[in-house]
Amino acid sequence: MSKKLRYLEIADVLKKKIKQGEFPQGQALPSQKELSEIFNTSVMTTRGALAELEQEGIITVIHGVGTFVSSPAIHNDTLSLQGFQNEMDRQKMSITNEVIGVKHEIEQRELLDLFGKRSGRFSSLSRLRTIDGKPVIYQCSYVEKQYSSVFDEYQADQSLYQLFSQKTGIMVTQGREIMIPVILPDDIAKTLGFDEPCTAFLSKRVSISLEEKVVLYDEAYLPGPYVIMASRKHGKNNSFKYIINQTGTIDSLDSFNDSDLWEDLI
Amino acid sequence: MSKKLRYLEIADVLKKKIKQGEFPQGQALPSQKELSEIFNTSVMTTRGALAELEQEGIITVIHGVGTFVSSPAIHNDTLSLQGFQNEMDRQKMSITNEVIGVKHEIEQRELLDLFGKRSGRFSSLSRLRTIDGKPVIYQCSYVEKQYSSVFDEYQADQSLYQLFSQKTGIMVTQGREIMIPVILPDDIAKTLGFDEPCTAFLSKRVSISLEEKVVLYDEAYLPGPYVIMASRKHGKNNSFKYIINQTGTIDSLDSFNDSDLWEDLI
DNA sequence: CAGTGGTCTAGACCACACC
DNA sequence: GTGTGGTCTAGACCACTGT
């Protein structure tokens, strides 16, 4: 682990300390000056180490205030209520989050593979997201049995990521997702109130902890008329998200011109 | 423009010089030491300026070699042959790129809006991408009339981005894209050889130059069974791309585990 | 080898947030 | 104000690339 580069060494040490819970989530780290004294190095080098951790989403540095262990990485959730909520506020729509059901003791081979386990059972939480009263998104989340209490305690309109992180102390720092264009399955279409066949994104996502373990799996159906994906690349900056398509027509390309939509993602 | 921050000032100056063509594409900039003398500043500050430009994709810095004005930002093209080709190599598939047709003197209101023009005409280039002999992706690109020669000179299996950049000297540094799940339209389906209705991504993308002008517009249909989108978020790193789904079944989640798929994106 | 970029020092000073 | 992070210096030295 200990490279020859001082700032990476320091970053590794800090990362380990955070993993081991020496600095709880939301807690301030020692100041850059103090850290420099502790590690017997210069401020510039300490800053290099902190920059590494910030890049990985482990800490958040705020000018004039301090350096903090990151709160649950909601920004890793492309489908986050957070993101949607902000979008909604901007567009003056209201979003709600309704629990359909919780299942326990699920046995499924594919889940075992995804979570990298050889045996075990899972719990699921099905939710419906409504926009201006209309059900729009169906989402089902899975965790290992040992964390099932999180689903039991889950309340509508909460951030599942945040709750999971609070209850388990696990920091989610990575997410991977695949998106597939599909026709809404009959049962989902019925739940969402679609009478006719409807295209949708099927999103499958795994969330990965600081320890590199898969801790959460989500599947979501996002009907095409109401949700589109938008991405932006600017040099090495690279972002994408789901956005609500108010008009419901695929020809609305407003998102290209409405730079406001992107502000919070750069 | 000139902030109080030295490194941003320097970055602005360098950016302007590159815009004005003082350093042609692919050309080496003066060394960090030389730049530090020119701007009468320290190496650390010069490096700060260069880091800014690198972040924006304007320059490429190579350890032990030098600092270069970036070649056409192919990496901005999510659908780039480049990317696909690498993928293909890895999966031992062959991809080809066939020109269907070129149109000139196109008049279309939506294009005017996209390019931010009040009047003007456009040219289009339709292409088909085949994988292992099977047509898979339909793509149509548009440029303003003044650049129509690029389409005329375009040869199969070339990178359109690269050619455009070479011919016009315009550097593409930004791209925005929206993706919509659709049913393949009849004519496209016929072209691609699909008999039954088929879900697909409809991708609409604008490419933006260093001068913040829209210079290229692309529409592509990517049938669901063969192409899926995959994204990865790791802290502030954020990437996504289209990948070929060999199996053609939506239940193949191999991409989650196959970290190789992501190597070139981090 | 020479020339490039990358790291690091030991400070100084500036900008920002909070009391 | 005090305390935080952010920038900057004027070098030294290390690591990498190509001849």
pLDDT band, very low/low/confident/very high, at A1 (cuts 50, 70, 90): very low
Residue lying closest to nucleotide C8, CA to C1' = A45
* Six-digit token string for B30: 């003066």
- Residues in chain B with CB shorter than 8 Å from the CB of A228 are 178-180
Closest residue on chain B to A217 (Cα)? B256
Enclosing H/E stretch for B17? helix B6-19
pLDDT at A136: 87
Do the Cβ atoms of B199 and B181 come closer than 8 Å?
Answer: yes
Looking at strand C, which nucleotides approach a protein CB closer than 7 A?
3-12, 14-18
Cβ-based contacts under 8 A for chains A and B: 156
Task: Round to whole Å and give the CA distance between B123 and B103.
Answer: 5
Average pLDDT of A49-54?
97
Q: Which residue is nearest to nucleotide D10 (CA to C1')?
A: B42
Q: What mean pLDDT value characterizes chain B?
A: 83
Contacts of A28 (CB under 8 A, 6+ apart): A66, A67, A68
User: Mind giving me the DSSP string for A96-125?
Assistant: EEEEEEEEEEE--HHHHHHHT-SS--EEEE
Residues with Cβ within 8 Å of residue B240, at least 6 apart in sequence: A231, A238, A240, B78, B229, B230, B231, B232
| A124-138 per-position pLDDT tens digit | 999 998 877 888 899
Give the DSSP letter of residue B71: P
Does A41 contact strand C, using a CB cutoff of 7 Å?
A: yes
Residue A86 has what pLDDT? 55
Question: What are the sequence ranges of the domains in chain A?
Answer: 6-69, 74-265
**Separation CA B84–CA B78 (nearest Å):** 9
- Residue spans of alpha helices (H) in A116-239: 148-153, 160-168, 186-192
pLDDT tens digits, one per residue of B139-158: 999 999 999 999 999 998 78
Q: What is the CATH architecture of B6-69? A: Orthogonal Bundle (1.10)
Nearest chain B CA: its distance from A45 CA (Å) = 12
Helix-helix angle B43-55:B6-19, to 10 degrees: 50
- Note the pLDDT tens digit of each residue in B195-234: 888 999 999 888 888 888 889 999 999 998 788 888 888 8
pLDDT at B89: 56
CATH topology of domain A74-265: Chorismate lyase (3.40.1410)
- What's the mean pLDDT in A190-208? 90
